[in-house]
Amino acid sequence: MSQSLTHEPDFERSTFIQSCAYCGARFEVLVSRLAGSDEPEDYDCPECGKRYTTQAALPPLVNLRSRRRDGKSDGYQETMF
Ligand SMILES: [Zn+2]
């Protein structure tokens, strides 16, 4: 019985809780890192859509933990007008 090598990369997964700087929502971010394959990956606040960037090998997964606290329902605006 021969051992077959898998080509599944050995991702290093980690999670952290982030508070959105715009709306105050808290969400969990699951990041998969792989030595030599990390690059800037975007993820969005699930409540207002504000964009964040982290170093990862795959697009981060986001899980909302607590709702926004600014009492608004608008989305984050990149430009002020
Ligand atoms: Zn937000």
16 C-alpha to ligand 1 centroid (Å):
16
Answer whether residue 80 shows pLDDT above 60: no
Near ion ligand 1, which residues have CB within 5 Å? Answer: 20, 22-23, 25, 45, 47-48, 50
Question: Which is more confidently placed, 71 or 4?
Answer: 71
Answer whether residue 34 shows pLDDT above 90: yes
Q: Band the pLDDT of 61: cuts 50, 70, 90.
A: very high
Burial label, 27 (beta-carbon count in 10 A; 0-12, 13-18, 19+): buried
28 C-alpha to ligand 1 centroid (Å):
12
Counts of helices then strands in the chain (DSSP H, E): 0, 5
Mean of all residue pLDDT scores within the chain: 91
Under 8 Å between Cβ of 75 and 49: yes
72 C-alpha to ligand 1 centroid (Å):
10
* This prediction's pTM: 0.81
The 12-19 sheet, strands edge to edge:
12-19, 26-33, 61-66
